């Protein structure tokens, strides 16, 4: 069995590829977003559609960059917490 780092390096696991259940809050919010986007697109002329599509693409880019930033920040925070636990772990043991 490979380590988690090996699986990650081979691309077998990825933080951005996750299954979203349709019944979850995120699944329902995603479905509503798609439904509302379709309704808007039906009411817009060609130029307005292009503007909306560009907006949606730009928002998707912001969401992706935010997800990456949050992943990195969360990972670093977790590593710092783990390091502190190792450094000060002796404080938890009675009599040390």
Domain identity same for 49 and 35: no
Per-residue model confidence (pLDDT) at position 56: 94
Does 16 or 1 have the greater pLDDT score? 16
- Containing 73, the helix (H) or strand (E) segment is helix 46-88
**C-alpha span between 18 and 27 (Å, rounded):** 12
Domain identity same for 11 and 51: no
pTM, two decimal places = 0.66
Domain identity same for 4 and 27: yes
Domain identity same for 57 and 25: no
Per-residue model confidence (pLDDT) at position 64: 87
Per-residue model confidence (pLDDT) at position 25: 95
Domain identity same for 76 and 29: no
Residue that has been written with the tokens 């696991």 in this structure? 13
Domain that holds residue 78: 45-96
**Cα Rg of the chain, angstroms:** 22
Domain identity same for 39 and 49: no
Count of the separate structural domains present in the chain: 2
pLDDT tens profile 31-83 = 999 999 999 999 999 999 999 999 999 999 999 889 888 988 998 999 999 99
Domain identity same for 52 and 10: no
Whether 92 shows a pLDDT value over 90: the answer reads: no
- pLDDT class for 95, splitting at 50, 70, 90? low
């Amino acid at each position: 069995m490979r380590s988690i780092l090996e699986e990650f390096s081979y691309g077998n696991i990825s933080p951005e590829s996750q299954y979203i259940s349709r019944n979850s809050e995120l699944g329902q919010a995603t479905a509503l977003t798609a439904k509302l986007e379709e309704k808007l697109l039906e009411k817009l002329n060609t130029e307005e559609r292009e503007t909306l599509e560009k907006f949606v693409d730009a928002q998707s880019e912001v969401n992706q960059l935010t997800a990456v930033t949050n992943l990195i920040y969360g990972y670093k925070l977790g590593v710092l917490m783990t390091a502190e636990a190792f450094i000060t772990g002796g404080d938890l043991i009675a009599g040390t």
